[in-house]
Amino acid sequence: KNEVEQSPQNLTAQEGEFITINCSYSVGISALHWLQQHPGGGIVSLFMLSSGKKKHGRLIATINIQEKHSSLHITASHPRDSAVYICAVSLVIYNQGGKLIFGQGTELSVKP
Amino acid sequence: NAGVTQTPKFRILKIGQSMTLQCAQDMNHNYMYWYRQDPGMGLKLIYYSVGAGITDKGEVPNGYNVSRSTTEDFPLRLELAAPSQTSVYFCASSRVWDRSSYEQYFGPGTRLTVT
Protein backbone atom coordinates (compact mmCIF):
# COMPACT_ATOMS: atom_id res chain seq x y z
CA LYS A 1 0.00 0.00 0.00
CA ASN A 2 1.36 3.41 -0.96
CA GLU A 3 2.07 5.82 1.87
CA VAL A 4 0.24 8.57 -0.03
CA GLU A 5 -3.00 7.73 -1.81
CA GLN A 6 -5.01 10.06 -4.01
CA SER A 7 -8.54 9.76 -5.29
CA PRO A 8 -9.88 9.82 -7.83
CA GLN A 9 -7.10 8.92 -10.28
CA ASN A 10 -9.01 10.50 -13.17
CA LEU A 11 -11.70 13.14 -13.12
CA THR A 12 -13.69 14.76 -15.90
CA ALA A 13 -15.79 17.82 -15.11
CA GLN A 14 -17.85 20.40 -16.93
CA GLU A 15 -16.75 24.00 -16.84
CA GLY A 16 -18.11 25.72 -13.75
CA GLU A 17 -18.33 22.62 -11.58
CA PHE A 18 -16.94 22.40 -8.05
CA ILE A 19 -14.13 19.85 -7.92
CA THR A 20 -12.64 17.94 -5.00
CA ILE A 21 -9.50 15.83 -5.05
CA ASN A 22 -8.64 13.79 -1.97
CA CYS A 23 -5.34 12.72 -0.45
CA SER A 24 -4.78 10.27 2.41
CA TYR A 25 -1.44 9.44 3.98
CA SER A 26 -0.20 6.92 6.50
CA VAL A 27 3.06 8.43 7.78
CA GLY A 28 3.98 11.19 10.21
CA ILE A 29 4.36 14.41 8.27
CA SER A 30 5.62 17.90 8.83
CA ALA A 31 3.71 19.33 5.87
CA LEU A 32 1.54 18.36 2.93
CA HIS A 33 2.06 19.76 -0.55
CA TRP A 34 -0.28 20.13 -3.49
CA LEU A 35 1.44 20.39 -6.86
CA GLN A 36 0.12 21.00 -10.36
CA GLN A 37 1.59 19.45 -13.49
CA HIS A 38 0.36 20.86 -16.78
CA PRO A 39 0.26 18.86 -20.03
CA GLY A 40 3.57 20.45 -21.03
CA GLY A 41 5.12 18.68 -18.07
CA GLY A 42 6.17 21.52 -15.77
CA ILE A 43 5.44 21.11 -12.06
CA VAL A 44 4.52 24.01 -9.81
CA SER A 45 3.79 24.11 -6.12
CA LEU A 46 0.24 25.24 -5.32
CA PHE A 47 0.11 24.89 -1.55
CA MET A 48 2.12 23.71 1.39
CA LEU A 49 0.17 23.32 4.60
CA SER A 50 0.56 21.70 7.98
CA SER A 51 -2.83 22.59 9.47
CA GLY A 52 -6.17 24.14 8.67
CA LYS A 53 -6.92 25.65 5.31
CA LYS A 54 -5.31 27.79 2.62
CA LYS A 55 -6.91 29.62 -0.28
CA HIS A 56 -5.45 31.04 -3.47
CA GLY A 57 -7.89 32.36 -6.01
CA ARG A 58 -10.32 29.57 -6.88
CA LEU A 59 -8.21 26.91 -5.18
CA ILE A 60 -8.68 25.83 -1.58
CA ALA A 61 -6.62 23.25 0.29
CA THR A 62 -7.58 21.75 3.63
CA ILE A 63 -5.87 19.29 5.91
CA ASN A 64 -7.07 17.21 8.87
CA ILE A 65 -3.98 16.02 10.73
CA GLN A 66 -5.91 13.68 13.05
CA GLU A 67 -7.54 11.88 10.12
CA LYS A 68 -4.38 12.09 7.95
CA HIS A 69 -6.41 13.51 5.08
CA SER A 70 -6.27 16.52 2.80
CA SER A 71 -8.54 17.84 0.09
CA LEU A 72 -7.94 20.20 -2.82
CA HIS A 73 -11.02 22.06 -4.02
CA ILE A 74 -11.41 24.00 -7.24
CA THR A 75 -14.38 26.34 -7.43
CA ALA A 76 -15.91 27.45 -10.74
CA SER A 77 -13.63 25.12 -12.70
CA HIS A 78 -12.28 26.20 -16.07
CA PRO A 79 -10.67 24.27 -18.94
CA ARG A 80 -7.33 25.89 -18.05
CA ASP A 81 -7.49 23.97 -14.74
CA SER A 82 -6.97 20.75 -16.73
CA ALA A 83 -3.77 19.24 -15.35
CA VAL A 84 -2.45 16.51 -13.09
CA TYR A 85 -2.72 17.41 -9.41
CA ILE A 86 -0.19 15.74 -7.16
CA CYS A 87 -0.28 15.36 -3.40
CA ALA A 88 3.03 14.96 -1.57
CA VAL A 89 4.08 14.85 2.06
CA SER A 90 7.23 16.00 3.84
CA LEU A 91 8.38 13.52 6.44
CA VAL A 92 8.49 14.63 10.03
CA ILE A 93 12.13 13.63 10.42
CA TYR A 94 14.16 16.80 10.04
CA ASN A 95 17.38 15.20 8.88
CA GLN A 96 15.59 13.65 5.91
CA GLY A 97 16.31 16.92 4.15
CA GLY A 98 12.73 17.75 3.34
CA LYS A 99 12.25 14.66 1.20
CA LEU A 100 8.82 14.30 -0.30
CA ILE A 101 6.72 11.18 -0.78
CA PHE A 102 4.36 11.59 -3.73
CA GLY A 103 0.93 10.31 -4.55
CA GLN A 104 0.28 9.01 -8.05
CA GLY A 105 -1.58 12.12 -9.12
CA THR A 106 -5.11 12.92 -10.21
CA GLU A 107 -5.63 13.74 -13.87
CA LEU A 108 -8.30 16.42 -14.19
CA SER A 109 -9.97 17.34 -17.45
CA VAL A 110 -12.42 20.24 -17.50
CA LYS A 111 -14.65 20.39 -20.59
CA PRO A 112 -16.05 23.67 -21.90
CA ASN B 1 15.64 34.77 -11.61
CA ALA B 2 15.69 31.80 -13.99
CA GLY B 3 14.67 29.48 -11.15
CA VAL B 4 15.61 25.85 -11.75
CA THR B 5 16.96 25.09 -15.21
CA GLN B 6 17.64 21.70 -16.78
CA THR B 7 19.42 20.64 -19.93
CA PRO B 8 18.83 18.94 -22.26
CA LYS B 9 15.04 18.93 -22.68
CA PHE B 10 15.06 15.72 -24.71
CA ARG B 11 17.64 13.01 -25.33
CA ILE B 12 17.75 9.61 -26.96
CA LEU B 13 20.50 7.26 -25.78
CA LYS B 14 21.58 3.86 -26.97
CA ILE B 15 21.88 1.05 -24.44
CA GLY B 16 25.26 1.25 -22.71
CA GLN B 17 25.88 4.93 -23.42
CA SER B 18 26.46 7.44 -20.66
CA MET B 19 25.31 11.01 -20.21
CA THR B 20 24.98 13.81 -17.69
CA LEU B 21 21.75 15.67 -17.03
CA GLN B 22 22.48 19.21 -15.97
CA CYS B 23 20.57 21.11 -13.30
CA ALA B 24 21.18 24.60 -11.97
CA GLN B 25 19.32 26.95 -9.66
CA ASP B 26 19.89 30.64 -9.00
CA MET B 27 17.81 30.98 -5.83
CA ASN B 28 20.64 30.12 -3.42
CA HIS B 29 18.72 27.06 -2.23
CA ASN B 30 20.64 24.62 -0.06
CA TYR B 31 18.59 21.56 -0.91
CA MET B 32 18.46 19.99 -4.38
CA TYR B 33 16.79 16.82 -5.63
CA TRP B 34 16.58 14.55 -8.64
CA TYR B 35 13.35 12.71 -9.39
CA ARG B 36 12.16 10.41 -12.13
CA GLN B 37 8.57 10.17 -13.29
CA ASP B 38 7.37 7.08 -15.10
CA PRO B 39 3.96 6.95 -16.84
CA GLY B 40 1.15 6.34 -14.35
CA MET B 41 3.56 6.41 -11.41
CA GLY B 42 4.32 9.02 -8.83
CA LEU B 43 7.60 10.88 -8.73
CA LYS B 44 10.43 8.85 -7.24
CA LEU B 45 13.47 10.37 -5.54
CA ILE B 46 16.80 9.32 -7.08
CA TYR B 47 19.32 11.40 -5.12
CA TYR B 48 19.27 14.54 -3.06
CA SER B 49 21.71 17.03 -1.59
CA VAL B 50 21.44 19.22 1.49
CA GLY B 51 24.38 21.41 0.53
CA ALA B 52 27.56 21.61 -1.51
CA GLY B 53 29.64 18.49 -1.02
CA ILE B 54 26.80 16.52 0.63
CA THR B 55 24.67 14.03 -1.28
CA ASP B 56 22.55 11.03 -0.31
CA LYS B 57 20.58 8.28 -2.00
CA GLY B 58 16.85 8.38 -2.47
CA GLU B 59 14.47 5.54 -3.29
CA VAL B 60 15.83 4.56 -6.71
CA PRO B 61 19.57 5.41 -6.92
CA ASN B 62 20.84 2.38 -8.84
CA GLY B 63 22.40 3.27 -12.19
CA TYR B 64 22.88 6.93 -11.29
CA ASN B 65 25.51 9.12 -9.69
CA VAL B 66 25.50 12.73 -8.53
CA SER B 67 27.89 15.37 -7.33
CA ARG B 68 27.38 18.79 -5.76
CA SER B 69 30.51 20.91 -5.98
CA THR B 70 28.65 24.24 -5.85
CA THR B 71 25.38 25.47 -4.34
CA GLU B 72 24.02 26.19 -7.83
CA ASP B 73 24.69 22.97 -9.74
CA PHE B 74 23.55 19.39 -9.19
CA PRO B 75 24.31 17.18 -12.23
CA LEU B 76 22.96 13.64 -12.55
CA ARG B 77 25.14 11.09 -14.27
CA LEU B 78 23.78 7.99 -16.00
CA GLU B 79 26.36 5.28 -16.53
CA LEU B 80 25.66 2.39 -18.92
CA ALA B 81 22.14 3.47 -19.85
CA ALA B 82 19.44 0.79 -19.78
CA PRO B 83 15.87 0.80 -21.19
CA SER B 84 14.57 0.86 -17.60
CA GLN B 85 16.00 4.38 -17.32
CA THR B 86 13.62 5.69 -19.95
CA SER B 87 11.71 8.31 -18.01
CA VAL B 88 11.17 12.00 -17.43
CA TYR B 89 13.70 13.44 -15.01
CA PHE B 90 12.97 16.44 -12.82
CA CYS B 91 15.41 18.44 -10.80
CA ALA B 92 14.10 20.47 -7.85
CA SER B 93 15.43 22.75 -5.17
CA SER B 94 14.12 24.03 -1.88
CA ARG B 95 14.76 26.84 0.53
CA VAL B 96 15.01 26.05 4.20
CA TRP B 97 12.73 28.57 5.80
CA ASP B 98 11.39 26.37 8.57
CA ARG B 99 13.03 23.41 10.29
CA SER B 100 10.12 21.14 9.48
CA SER B 101 8.74 22.04 6.06
CA TYR B 102 10.16 22.82 2.64
CA GLU B 103 8.53 24.14 -0.56
CA GLN B 104 10.17 22.67 -3.63
CA TYR B 105 10.74 24.40 -6.97
CA PHE B 106 10.93 22.19 -10.03
CA GLY B 107 12.82 22.42 -13.28
CA PRO B 108 11.06 21.85 -16.63
CA GLY B 109 12.19 18.23 -16.92
CA THR B 110 14.34 16.14 -19.26
CA ARG B 111 12.63 13.45 -21.34
CA LEU B 112 15.08 10.57 -21.81
CA THR B 113 14.59 7.55 -24.03
CA VAL B 114 17.01 4.62 -23.97
CA THR B 115 16.76 2.26 -26.94
State residue B26's pLDDT score: 95
CB proximity A105 to B under 8 Å: yes
| Residues B2-11: tens digit of each pLDDT | 899 999 999 9
From the list A50, A97, A103, the residue facing B31 with the nearest CB is A97
- pLDDT reading at B75 higher than 60: yes
Confidence of residue A36 (pLDDT cuts 50, 70, 90): very high
State residue A95's pLDDT score: 57
**Distance (Å, whole) CA B39 – CA B59:** 17
- Average pLDDT over every residue of A62-77: 96
Q: Are B103 and A45 in contact (CB under 8 A)?
A: yes
Nearest chain B residue to A2 by CA: give it.
B42
What's the half-sphere exposure (Cβ side, CA atoms, 13 Å) at B34?
31
